[in-house]
Structure 1
């Protein structure tokens, strides 16, 4: 388990939220799957809700900004100077799709896409520093970017966030973990164009005690299975959707634990 009550280091994944058409339906699904306690914010925040695990910030649920958009999870990265980082996004080949804005005294946010088209967020912490619990069942354990433009995206994120990489590629796949202040914080991988049905994207992985049981529970709650559980050296994984089609991954740790 990881807990944190101060702002995350710049370039670190620090928050995730899911944009949906029906916040109440999403609340019931994720409370039933991850044992979250979801609390709606005040009216001035437009229906945004925070999900808590053990009394700590775990994720957010937000109404979609535009009706009819696909439901989706978004990963946000900590920044110290959101205007400066937004300028780097544009200068490095990405696009800022929502300019930096104040969110009361909680912080500042922006939304952007990388050169391959994957959406991500920027968060400059105020009173809200991002998730304050991670790496335990029901919370974020991993984030990764998948696209057909792996080399381009590696260069883009290095320019924007200053990431260092540990290349894990071989003749069968291309993948690298990225590091912030010497610690692994996520990954970037390449997918074949023929398999890129969802387009470039950032995936959110949630830790669970038992992947097979979690998948069964997701289905009982109205979700769908995109990829059934499979074993990896990092743990047993699966990819599912919630009741509104937002996809995410779940992973139970190998025998040595989290």
Structure 2
């Protein structure tokens, strides 16, 4: 699962882009008990979601004409400019060129060749999220892509990721996971799943999905639905993992919740959830 301190290639930041930040504050505040802290008068409304005073995510206003609502994950890079070169050389594209964010760090937003959005963060004063792999915090990611093998090669070239596989709990095949290059097997932070073109089109194209830990999956889903969320997948148990569900917030940003994280930052077992 995710862990900190972060290393090259690991997820170290996650950010909600939404047309309604005020609505997001209310929604996620009630679902995850998050509070919103402004980044200051010069940050254009940007701010951090915190839990017990520790940053677990961030949010910013993205007008509808600038793109759909969504959670964007940042991966650590020692050199944002070099990362962008690798992205473009391997067939990806750059949405936001590398830029300094005050003295906090340097960021860039990109698309992989299939069209899934992701971002890079070159740390400055801001090294990353304060809390991960715990209740109320980011704990897992999944990439839904039309070509699993190509995605593994692409992100491996850009970030140095290594991949491994494990049998699916139901015996239906294998689940592919990635971890930072040179890191131990237990540092996997994401699964990569191949989906048909029809299913991806129905979902709006290839995408990254973020999983946040909860104490009670069913209660969290019920509360989210009361607040206007759409249930994309009802709660389901996965052997060796826990219980998870997929949702979209009232503005349409997709995310997932998973019950099973411990205070130590692991799930109730070694297996991550599967977004199938």
Aligned Cα RMSD in Å? 2.1
* In 2: Cα distance, 1:32 partner to 1:102 partner: 33
Question: What is the match of residue 274 of structure 2?
Answer: none
Question: What is the match of residue 193 of structure 2?
Answer: 189
Residues 107, 126 of structure 1: 8 Å contact kept: yes
State the TM-score, normalizing by the size of structure 2. Answer: 0.87
- Distance apart, 1:119 and its partner CA: 0.1
Residues 23, 63 of structure 1: 8 Å contact kept: yes
Residues 173, 190 of structure 1: 8 Å contact kept: no
- Distance apart, 1:3 and its partner CA: 7.2
CA deviations over 1:153-175 (Å, ceiling 9, x no partner): 11100101111110236895564
Residues 94, 115 of structure 1: 8 Å contact kept: yes
Residues 174, 189 of structure 1: 8 Å contact kept: no
Would you say 1:125 and 2:131 are equivalent positions?
no
* In 2: Cα distance, 1:78 partner to 1:213 partner: 33
Question: What is the match of residue 240 of structure 1?
Answer: 247
Cα gap change, 1:97 to 1:90, in 2 (>3 Å): same
- Distance apart, 1:67 and its partner CA: 3.2
Residues 236, 245 of structure 2: 8 Å contact kept: yes
* In 2: Cα distance, 1:2 partner to 1:245 partner: 25
* In 2: Cα distance, 1:21 partner to 1:126 partner: 28
SS in 1 for 2:8: coil
Cα gap change, 1:173 to 1:89, in 2 (>3 Å): farther
Question: What is the match of residue 112 of structure 1?
Answer: 110
- Distance apart, 1:43 and its partner CA: 2.6
Q: Structure 1: 5+ residue runs without aligned partners?
A: none
* In 2: Cα distance, 1:153 partner to 1:21 partner: 30
Question: What is the match of residue 273 of structure 2?
Answer: none
Residues 38, 49 of structure 1: 8 Å contact kept: yes
Q: Structure 2: 5+ residue runs without aligned partners?
A: 270-276
* In 1: Cα distance, 2:157 partner to 2:66 partner: 34
* In 2: Cα distance, 1:111 partner to 1:195 partner: 25
Residues 91-170 of structure 1: pairs in structure 2 closer than 5 A: 91-168=89-166
Question: What is the match of residue 219 of structure 1?
Answer: 225
- Distance apart, 1:42 and its partner CA: 1.6
Cα gap change, 1:92 to 1:175, in 2 (>3 Å): farther
Question: What is the match of residue 80 of structure 1?
Answer: 78
Which structure has the highest strand share of the two?
1
Aligned to 1:230, which of 225, 236, 239? 236
* In 2: Cα distance, 1:254 partner to 1:159 partner: 31
Would you say 1:34 and 2:32 are equivalent positions?
yes
* In 2: Cα distance, 1:126 partner to 1:53 partner: 22
Poorly superposed stretches of 4+, deviation over 6 Å:
none
* In 1: Cα distance, 2:98 partner to 2:213 partner: 31
